[in-house]
Amino acid sequence: MRAQLALVTPRVIGSVVMSEVLGLAGVSVVRGTKTLLNNVDWRVAEGERWVVLGPNGAGKSTLLQIAGARMHPTRGVAGILDEVLGAVDVFELRPRIGVASASVAHQIPEHEKVLNVVVTASYGVTGRWREDYERDDERRAFRLLEEWGVSTFFNRPFASLSDGERKRVQIARALMTDPELLLLDEPGAGLDLAGREGLVKRLSELAADPMAPSTVLVTHHLEEIPPGFTHALLLRDGAVVAQGPMTEVLTEENLSTTFGLPLNVSNNAGRYTATARH
Ligand SMILES: Nc1ncnc2c1ncn2[C@@H]1O[C@H](COP(=O)(O)OP(=O)(O)OP(=O)(O)O)[C@@H](O)[C@H]1O
Ligand SMILES: [Mg+2]
């Protein structure tokens, strides 16, 4: 236990205290007879930008649920923003973490106005009710919508937006509380080519912003990795195949093992592509 807790407390390197954003030690999640995550160790330091890759059912969303303090591990220790899951009030921890995922999107009421989708994040709710929002909150929400190129829809019902527009609104919402950790679960799913390229460009700009939070992006597609992302974690059947600095991890061998088929992988000016090797 002592060794596990050492993993989730700040590390001192020289005289510099490295703040650990995530420190998972031996984390498993079991439901019935199924092991969703199997003994995962993972450290994310402040400022790092991670991608999590793996096939359907690998456990990526489960890992993000743990990282977002939405789920507790069955075994192991999960340290998040210098707190330990199970020994912290998750309702205080969650506003420090921005999440954009299909499960958050499903909770947004159909008729909710786009501006409210973003502004309600300050209360950790979906659906504006009787909370009192400051004008400053609304201004910040509008500014985030502008930054993500969707402010013209501020008064439209969320459900009336296209998939791509909704994805951008969700990221604006995830950034509303100025989080220390940003978790994006497949933000590129369902986007057309222009939509995907626009998203990759914006995420690349976010990655380059030193004020932007530490980020974890889940995707199936190497083409969606924004240049400037620094690290990768590969998951298969709930277990880590490889993790670490992006260029070391995204090898043909590691990716072929992860996705279960022989792959050719190339990297052109920071953009990755993968195709099956025939
Ligand atoms: N309550 C549960 N009981 C049993 N199995 C579950 C339960 N919840 C999730 N699973 C299974 O756990 C596995 C991991 O799910 P998860 O959603 O984390 O995968 P994923 O990597 O995000 O997949 P995808 O790429 O399809 O989104 C899946 O096979 C899923 O069916
Ligand atoms: Mg998933």
> What does the pLDDT look like over 32-77, one tens digit per residue?
999 999 999 999 999 999 999 999 999 999 999 999 999 999 999 9
**Which residue in the block uniquely carries the two structure tokens 């923003």?**
81
Name the average pLDDT for the chain.
90
Short-list 28, 1, 5, CA closest to 240: 28
DSSP string, 144-166: HHHHTT-GGGTTSBGGGS-HHHH
Cβ atoms < 10 Å from Cβ of 156: 15
- Which of 33, 36, 186, 234 to mutate to test ligand 1, by most ligand atoms within 8 A of the CB atom? 36
Tell me how far the alpha carbon of residue 14 lies from the centroid of ligand 2, in angstroms: 39
Q: Is the CB of 57 under 6 A from ligand 1?
A: yes
Q: Name residues whose C-beta falls within 8 Å of residue 154's C-beta, 6 or more positions apart in sequence.
A: 113, 114, 115, 142, 145
What phi and psi values does residue 169 have, to the nearest 5 degrees?
-65, -40
Percent of the chain with pLDDT over 90: 77
Q: Is the pLDDT of residue 107 over 80?
A: yes
Q: Name residues whose C-beta falls within 8 Å of residue 134's C-beta, 6 or more positions apart in sequence.
A: none
Task: Provide the residue ranges of all domains of the chain, joining segments of one domain with +.
Answer: 2-276
- The per-residue pLDDT for 19 is 74
Tell me how far the alpha carbon of residue 100 lies from the centroid of ligand 2, in angstroms: 12
CATH dotted code for 2-276: 3.40.50.300
Q: Exposed, middle or buried: residue 4 (CB in 10 Å: 0-12, 13-18, 19+)?
A: middle
b/e burial code for range 46-77 (CB count within 10 A of at least 16 → b): eebbbbbbbeeebbbbbbbbbbbbbbebeebb
134 — pLDDT class (breaks 50, 70, 90): confident
Q: Is the pLDDT of residue 2 over 50?
A: no
Give the closest ligand to the alpha carbon of residue 235. 1
Do 144 and 165 touch, CB atoms closer than 8 A? no
Distance CA 1, CA 87 (A): 14
b/e burial code for range 20-29 (CB count within 10 A of at least 16 → b): bbbbbbbbbb
11 — pLDDT class (breaks 50, 70, 90): very low
- The per-residue pLDDT for 192 is 87
Tell me how far the alpha carbon of residue 155 lies from the centroid of ligand 1, in angstroms: 35
Identity of the highest mean pLDDT range in 10-24, 109-123, 152-166: 152-166
Tell me how far the alpha carbon of residue 185 lies from the centroid of ligand 2, in angstroms: 7
Q: Which residues pair with 77 in a beta bridge?
A: 25
- Per-residue pLDDT of 197-256, as tens digits, reads 999 999 999 999 999 999 999 999 999 999 999 999 999 999 999 999 999 999 999 999
- The per-residue pLDDT for 9 is 47
Q: Helix 135-147 to helix 163-175 angle, to the nearest 10 degrees?
A: 130
